[in-house]
Structure 1
C-alpha cells in the first residue's frame, strides 16, 4: 500500500515537473522567422525624438535654453533624423511581417534585419492603433521561413512560453517563462492580453510569444515597470485578436469592425434589481443614436443579453464581440425589456465609419425647484441649457445642488447632471419625478432607476429607496 502511494506521488511529481530540458530546439525551429526592425523618422526641432531622455538630447536641450536667455544668438531650429528599434515576425513565405503599430508609427523608412544578417526594406500595408498591430511586407528573392499562429484561447495559466526579439537593441534575444494570467485589459476597447513573466524589455515590442509547438500565441506589446526594465510583468496581445486584425489588413489595408450603435454601461446588482433582472449580467443600453441599433428597434433601458449567439456577461465582452463581427452582417440580438426578453435582427454598420450622433431633443417646462433624495432638482430653462452646454431642445431635470452625504452623491451624481428619465419614464417637471418615486415605493421596489446625462455621456443609476 505504501509502495502504491509512493508510486502515485512520484507520478504526480513527474507530471508537475514536466518542462523543457532546453529551449534550444524551439529556438532553432523559429529563429529564422523572427526579425529586428529599425525605423528612421524625420523629427521637427520642437519634438522629442524616439530616444528622448538620453543624456546627449538633454545636453542639447540645455544648450538651446542658454541661447534663449540671450547669452548667444539663438540657433535656428532644424529638423533631424531619429531612429527606433523593435521586433517582428514573418507570417508568410511571400514576406508579410507582423509588428506593433507603435514600433513603426510615423516612420519614413522601415528596415528589416533577419537572423541570417540579411536586410530588406519594408512597405507598410496597414495598421490598427486600437490593438497596436501593424502589417508590413518585404520583397525577398526567395521564399522566407515563417511561423504560424496558434490558438491563444487554449493557453492556460502556468503554460510555458518563449519570447524572442530585439530588447534594448541587443538583437535576437530569447527569454522564457510562463503564462501568468489571461484576458488582461489595459486601456483599449479590444484588449485581450496574455500576461507573462518571460523577460520583455524595450525593443521586444512587436516580437512573438511562442507556445512550445513554435506557434505564435501573442504579440509582445507592453510591460508594467517602475524603471522601464522587465520586472516580470509583460503583456502580449493574444493571437486570436491579432489574426483577425491581420486578415483585414491583408485584405483591405485597414480594419473593418462591426458597429452596433449604442452607448452602454455595466449592470450591477442594484441596477439588476431595479430593472427586474434575475442576475447582474449583460450590457445596459443608455443611449441609442442614429445607427443600426436604432433602425432595428433597440431602445434605451434594454439590457443586451445575447449577441449573435454569444451570451454577454459585461460591456467589455459586448464591445469585443461586436467589433469582431463582420460589417453588414445581420445578427440576432436578445434584449431584456420590461420584464421580458425580445429578439431583434440588427444589420451591423462599420465602426470606422460611425459618426458621433446627437441625442433627440424635446421641449422644456416651467421653472421649479425641490429637494429630493438629497438632490436639489430644478426644471430645465434656456439659461440652464446654455450653462450646461445642452442642445436647444434638451429635456429633463437639472441637479443644481447635491448633499455629499446622500446616496445619490455616493452613486456618482453631481451638480450639473441632467436627469432624463426616472423609473424608466421621461421626466421634465419636479412633479413627474415625485410621481415616479411614489409609484416605485407603492410597488415595493428597493431601488429606483434614473437615466443621467453628463455632457455627451449617458448612464443609468439605481438609487436605494428609503421612506422619507
Structure 2
C-alpha cells in the first residue's frame, strides 16, 4: 500500500472533502487516489499558499462524477504500475563512489512484456536488479538499456508481472494549472500531487544536457525513477533529482510557468526527465540498449558554472580527464581554442561531430597559471562495468 505525502494546507483541504463514515469502510489507498482525482477538479495550492494556511481555491469548472470515476481508475492504474527498484552494483564499480553500491528507487511498467522504465543512474553498472511490488513480492530483473544522452534506463522483468502497463502522455502539453500525480514504488512508495513550475533546458554537472526538463513542486526525496502522471494517468516524466532551488537550476527564466515563480526566496523541487525524450528512442533502447545520441565523447569531468566560469568539481577515476592531468579546482577557459562560459556550450563542443573518440585540447587556469592539456575522449558506455554474462 502506498502512503500519501502532501503539504499541511492541502492535506487539511483533502480530509475536509471526506466524512468519517465515508472513510471507514474503504481501503485507504483507494480513498486517497479518489481524493487526488477529486483534487484535479480544483485549483491546487501554489508554493506561496503552501507556506500559509490557505486552502486551495475551488475550480470554476467543476468535474463531473463520470470524469472523476474515469480519472480515478486511470490514476489507480498509474499508481499500481509504479514499482520499487533495488540494485546492487558490480564490485569495484566507479559509480559506487558517488551513487553507492546499493541503490533504491522506483520504476514504471510500460510494456506488456514486463519492461520497466526508470532513471538510468539507478541501474548503472548493476550486478543484480530486483523489482518490488506493492504487496512486498520481489521479482528478479535484468538491465535492458542505459541511455547516457537522456538519462533513462530500462529493465526487463525475468518473470511475468501482474500489472498493466501505463500509457505514455505528452510532456510538452502539461499546462501550468494542471495538477499532476507523483508516485514512487515499492512497499515504501507514496502518492502525492505535484505542480509543474517550469519546463526548459537543464545542464547537469556530470556532462549531461536535456531539453524540456520538468521542474515540479513540492520537493519529494523519493524521486529516483518515480513516475509523474497527468490527470489521465498517462506517464509524462521520470524522476531524476531533488533540487534545493528550482529557479537556480532553470537555464531559461522565461520558461517559468507559474505567476508565483517571480524572483524571490529559494524554492525546492524535483527534476523529471520528460517522456517526450523517450518516445522517439524506445525501439532503439529495446533493441540496442542505448540511443545513437549516447555514442558520444566523454571526458570524466564534473563542473560547476558560476558567473560565466566553469570550475572542475571532480575528476572521475580512470577517465580521460584524469589521465590528462586535469585537477579539482581548475577553471576551464577554452576548449580547442574556443572560449567557454557555460555548461551547455562546453558540452556541445565536446559532443560535436558525433565521434566518441577524438582529441581535444583544454586550457585551464590553475592557481593563476594557464595550463594546456590534451585529452583523448572515450565512449562513456565502454568504461562501465557489467554483470557477468551481460
Give the TM-score normalised by structure 2: 0.52
Match of 1:177 among 194, 217, 225: 194
How far off its partner does 1:15 sit?
Answer: 5.2
Aligned pairs (5 A) from 1:247-262: 247-257=283-293
Q: Distance in 2 between matches of 1:114 and 1:26?
A: 19
Q: Distance in 2 between matches of 1:142 and 1:170?
A: 16
Would you say 1:38 and 2:86 are equivalent positions? yes
Match of 1:83 among 102, 108, 124: 102
Contact 1:158/1:180 (8 A) holds in 2: no
Contact 2:139/2:159 (8 A) holds in 1: yes
Would you say 1:197 and 2:217 are equivalent positions? yes
Would you say 1:356 and 2:359 are equivalent positions? yes
Larger RCO (alpha carbons 8 Å, 6+ apart): 2
How far off its partner does 1:36 sit?
Answer: 0.5
Q: Distance in 1 between matches of 2:92 and 2:293?
A: 34
Q: Which residue of 2 aligns with 1:213?
A: 232
How far off its partner does 1:39 sit?
Answer: 1.4
Q: 1:25 to 1:142 in 2, by over 3 A?
A: closer
Q: Which residue of 2 aligns with 1:108?
A: 127
Q: Name stretches of at least 5 consecutive residues in structure 1 with no aligned partner.
A: 1-11, 53-81, 262-285, 290-299, 301-313, 324-347, 360-387, 390-411, 418-452, 458-468
Q: Distance in 1 between matches of 2:90 and 2:286?
A: 27
Contact 1:128/1:134 (8 A) holds in 2: yes
Computed over aligned residues only, the root mean square deviation of the Cα atoms, in angstroms, reads 4.6
Q: Distance in 2 between matches of 1:106 and 1:252?
A: 17
Q: Distance in 2 between matches of 1:152 and 1:177?
A: 14
Contact 1:100/1:133 (8 A) holds in 2: yes
Q: Secondary structure at the match of 1:28?
A: helix
The number of residues matched between the two structures is 251
Q: Name stretches of at least 5 consecutive residues in structure 2 with no aligned partner.
A: 1-42, 44-56, 246-266, 298-333, 376-390
How far off its partner does 1:240 sit?
Answer: 1.1
Q: 1:260 to 1:36 in 2, by over 3 A?
A: closer
Q: Distance in 2 between matches of 1:257 and 1:153?
A: 21
Q: Distance in 2 between matches of 1:259 and 1:195?
A: 27
Deviation digits for residues 94-119 of structure 1, max 9, x if unmatched?
11111112212232110012235433
Deviation digits for residues 12-61 of structure 1, max 9, x if unmatched?
99755657979754432223311101112365699977897xxxxxxxxx
Would you say 1:148 and 2:167 are equivalent positions? yes
Would you say 1:27 and 2:75 are equivalent positions? yes
Q: 1:315 to 1:38 in 2, by over 3 A?
A: closer
Q: 1:137 to 1:51 in 2, by over 3 A?
A: closer
Contact 1:121/1:138 (8 A) holds in 2: yes
Would you say 1:121 and 2:157 are equivalent positions? no
Give the TM-score normalised by structure 1: 0.44
Aligned pairs (5 A) from 1:305-454: 350-351=354-355, 353-356=356-359
User: Larger Rg: 1 or 2?
Assistant: 1
Match of 1:240 among 276, 279, 293: 276
